Structure 1
Amino acid sequence: MIVQRRAVPAVLAAAALLLTAGCSSDDGGPAGADASASPSRTAPGSSAPPRQAGEETPPAKGSVTVVRTVAEGLESPWGLAPLPGGGLLVSSRDEGTIVRVDEKTGRKTELGEVPGVAAEGEGGLLGIALSPDFASDHMVYAYFTSAGDNRVVRMLYDAGKPAGEQLGAPDTVFRGIPKGFIHNGGRIAFGPDGMLYVGTGESGETGLSQDRDSTGGKILRLTPEGEPAPGNPFSGSPVYSYGHRNVQGLAWDTKQRLFASEFGQDTWDELNAIKPGGNYGWPEAEGKSDDSGFRNPVDQWSTAEASPSGIAYAEGSVWMAGLRGKRLWRIPLNGTAASAEPQAFLEGEYGRLRTVVPAGGDRLWLVTSNTDGRGAPEDGDDRILELRVK
């Protein structure tokens, strides 16, 4: 049953981990497991999809240059939201705080702690996004795990207050998303249509993904107030697409087409082109399927090569951050199909990669994730990097 609540007009105001043999964590394998022999990236007998006519395609080969380290010493960073006037807001999964990073100096200022965050396993304070009307309403949206569910809240950001007191009381926009020790989803983003898109996980209960009355294992599309958005594929429902395992990446191309990354279990991680009402197969299908009732991914990777979290679109390609894979993937596109073989960059150089966000033009912000309990932190972890890509 879907549970939601219209937000009150804004005022200034452990689950046990049950894993069957072979069930993976957000790393594409049990916590602490090492990558062993893994299947090749492309399924036997498969080939790249044909190019779509009328699309300008990026070069088959691209490049990544690390321009600089923007900031160091971040604790379990998860979401990142660039401010329109400069500065980067970063959420800490385990600390439950949001900090502002000066992208020129790296200086960090804590805005405050989000009350009600229950950080455990893969849950905690996850994705953040700015209101489409941020210039006038100064609202920051956040997805977090509470004691009983995953939810989306919004908070007033008042930069004029002292550090640590700049976040207003959270106003719950949407509640009742299933929570678990694993598979909490967590990415949120406002689309080109001004609606709020929410990537959720099935919390380890695989049956939720195919249940359209559940918000687990879905991409949700909401109004900024938390109602099912007009034009959703299922009348009166917030569900936009279903059959997902654990969605942690959302991005749009220049033609307003939505893409999403998804964690596989043992075999295939996915990059999907999202269609309203589309069924992406989990748990009946993992990766590409011969079942015409399921939508196949744009491409797929072994879980040891990817375990993808955030994605961003820039220079004609989707850029996908890998946690267990410890690399940044470039997927050049022609429409909603891959136009060439994906390329891997930064393999093993910065450890686990969590979030990637457009920084304008050919630049990206990239956030590492080595202090989340599954990485091997080095001096300076975790970091925000500025990249130049093509």
Structure 2
Amino acid sequence: MSAALAVTALLLTAGCSSDGGGSPGNGASTSSGGSGTSTGSAPSRQATAQTPPAKGTVKVLRTVTEGLKSPWGLAPLPDGSLLVSSRDDGTITRITEATGKKTELGTVSGVSAAGEGGLLGIALSPDYASDHMIYAYFTTASDNRIARMLYDPKKPAGEQLGAPDTVFRGIPKGFIHNGGRIAFGPDGMLYAGTGESGQRGLAQDKKSLGGKILRLTPDGDPAPGNPFPDSPVYTYGHRNVQGLAWDPEQRLFASEFGQDTWDELNAIKPGDDYGWPNAEGKGDDPKYHNPITQWHTDDASPSGIAYAEGSIWMAGLKGRRLWRIPLDGVTTSAAPQAFLTGEYGRLRTVVSAGGDKLWLMTSNTDGRGTPKPGDDRILEIQVS
């Protein structure tokens, strides 16, 4: 059976930009056409950012911790420590920021890890200070879903995570293309990037939850003001969304894996069609919303993104580099710039650490060309 699954995965993902799960490829939406964070909570509204310089810098300040196993989601706590989800183990671990000490909170029950599925994105409740709830996007035996769990640090290690309370279910699952990034936006709503699970037609089906960006209330209902009546669908025509981030003007950006030609960074406009599977990368069909920039799949395979210092910062899996995309509104103000190319392997998640600092997490120990066992880590970096 394992051999059969492996063959099936290879057939499905041939030529596909790699997510870095247990198989080649974690698609992303592709788009073509024409209209014009990060994990955890989005930044509050600020004054309009000035256009950043064409060239930036990255300085690695330190390794916060290492020896992580299949890390995927990353969420900073108010006290500065970090929560990390393990895709394959289904656990959430707290990292003490100052020392790198790891404390396992517990295991999320119901997680069924296979291929690119498992325990994926995590985010803190917008009311975390009072409710201590952690949200998680994960794969089960039947679907992908979002649940919330109480975190009680007063309990013994391993027992600090409450039972999952499912707030949203029914997102298509597959061996590939499960999406998985969740984040609360500046509006207090929960956004989720989904994949088309290898069934390309789902991306254009507005009644399907696959190949979409969803917008929900914290209780999992379709958010008020969504573009389609009584629907959680915010945008469609995506292949596999794994990066969400907002700029100070509350504009949403999303990263997507291409199939074999173009990976994308998109500016998100409610109700728009981002093209997949009819278009990949920039095109001239006005039905589809063009990406603001694109990369060959060997250079990116983008997962998490974050906003800092006037730019979107994008973690590349197959590309094994961190991309800086300087912004002028919802367009690029200069060519994207690559950093850390090949230095730390595959990069999965990037999250704001405040000001000009970011948390950057690698993704090497999940079957995609591991440099050495147990080397997955979180870095603190300073950017400009």
TM-score by length of 1: 0.89
Aligned pair in 2 of structure 1 residues 156, 210: CA closer, same or farther (>3 Å)? same
Aligned pair in 2 of structure 1 residues 28, 373: CA closer, same or farther (>3 Å)? closer
SS at 2:287's partner residue?
coil
The one of 270, 276, 284 equivalent to 1:276 is 270
**Relative contact order higher in (CA < 8 Å, ≥ 6 apart):** 2
Output one character per residue of 1:96-121: Cα deviation in whole Å (capped at 9) or x when no partner.
00000001000000000000100000
1:105 is aligned to: 99
Aligned pair in 2 of structure 1 residues 276, 163: CA closer, same or farther (>3 Å)? same
Where do 1:220-259 residues align within 5 Å? 220-259=214-253
1:203 correspondence with 2:197: yes
Conserved 8 A contact 2:9-2:23: no
1:46 is aligned to: none
2:39 is aligned to: none
2:362 is aligned to: 368
1:307 is aligned to: 301
The one of 11, 15, 18 equivalent to 1:19 is 11
1:70 is aligned to: 64
1:165 is aligned to: 159
1:355 is aligned to: 349
Matched residue type, 1:24: C
Conserved 8 A contact 1:18-1:204: no
Conserved 8 A contact 1:354-1:369: yes
Matched residue type, 1:332: P
Q: Which stretches of structure 1, 4 residues or more, deviate above 6 A after TM superposition? A: none
SS at 2:67's partner residue?
coil
> Following the alignment from structure 1 to structure 2, what is the Cα–Cα distance between the partners of residues 236 and 87?
38
Where do 1:372-387 residues align within 5 Å? 372-378=366-372, 381-387=375-381
> Following the alignment from structure 2 to structure 1, what is the Cα–Cα distance between the partners of residues 338 and 206?
35
1:135 is aligned to: 129
How much has 1:29 moved relative to structure 2? 12
Aligned pair in 2 of structure 1 residues 300, 171: CA closer, same or farther (>3 Å)? same
1:263 is aligned to: 257
Matched residue type, 2:18: D
SS at 2:201's partner residue?
helix
Matched residue type, 1:324: K
> Following the alignment from structure 1 to structure 2, what is the Cα–Cα distance between the partners of residues 191 and 262?
19
SS at 2:11's partner residue?
coil
> Following the alignment from structure 2 to structure 1, what is the Cα–Cα distance between the partners of residues 211 and 312?
22
Aligned pair in 2 of structure 1 residues 133, 187: CA closer, same or farther (>3 Å)? same
The gaps in structure 1 that reach 5 residues or longer are 1-13, 34-42, 44-48
1:185 correspondence with 2:166: no
> Following the alignment from structure 1 to structure 2, what is the Cα–Cα distance between the partners of residues 177 and 155?
19
How much has 1:32 moved relative to structure 2? 6.3
Conserved 8 A contact 1:23-1:29: no
Conserved 8 A contact 2:19-2:116: no
Output one character per residue of 1:51-106: Cα deviation in whole Å (capped at 9) or x when no partner.
xxx86200000000000000010000000000012210000000100000001000
Output one character per residue of 1:188-218: Cα deviation in whole Å (capped at 9) or x when no partner.
0000000000000000000000000000000
Output one character per residue of 1:328-371: Cα deviation in whole Å (capped at 9) or x when no partner.
00000000000000000000000000000000000000000000
Matched residue type, 2:226: N
User: Across the two proteins, how many residue pairs are aligned to each other?
Assistant: 359
Conserved 8 A contact 1:28-1:265: no
Conserved 8 A contact 1:76-1:370: yes
> Following the alignment from structure 2 to structure 1, what is the Cα–Cα distance between the partners of residues 305 and 107?
26
Where do 1:309-324 residues align within 5 Å? 309-324=303-318
> Following the alignment from structure 1 to structure 2, what is the Cα–Cα distance between the partners of residues 287 and 32?
20
The one of 118, 142, 164 equivalent to 1:148 is 142
How much has 1:302 moved relative to structure 2? 0.3
Conserved 8 A contact 1:191-1:252: yes
How much has 1:376 moved relative to structure 2? 1.5
Aligned pair in 2 of structure 1 residues 273, 21: CA closer, same or farther (>3 Å)? closer
Matched residue type, 2:9: L
> Following the alignment from structure 2 to structure 1, what is the Cα–Cα distance between the partners of residues 12 and 181?
26
Conserved 8 A contact 2:13-2:24: no
Conserved 8 A contact 1:267-1:303: yes
> Following the alignment from structure 1 to structure 2, what is the Cα–Cα distance between the partners of residues 276 and 70?
37
> Following the alignment from structure 1 to structure 2, what is the Cα–Cα distance between the partners of residues 253 and 213?
29
The gaps in structure 2 that reach 5 residues or longer are 26-31, 37-47
> Following the alignment from structure 1 to structure 2, what is the Cα–Cα distance between the partners of residues 272 and 146?
29
Aligned pair in 2 of structure 1 residues 219, 185: CA closer, same or farther (>3 Å)? same
SS at 1:304's partner residue?
helix
Aligned pair in 2 of structure 1 residues 253, 159: CA closer, same or farther (>3 Å)? same
Matched residue type, 2:351: V
Aligned pair in 2 of structure 1 residues 32, 263: CA closer, same or farther (>3 Å)? closer
1:40 is aligned to: none
SS at 1:172's partner residue?
strand
Matched residue type, 1:97: T
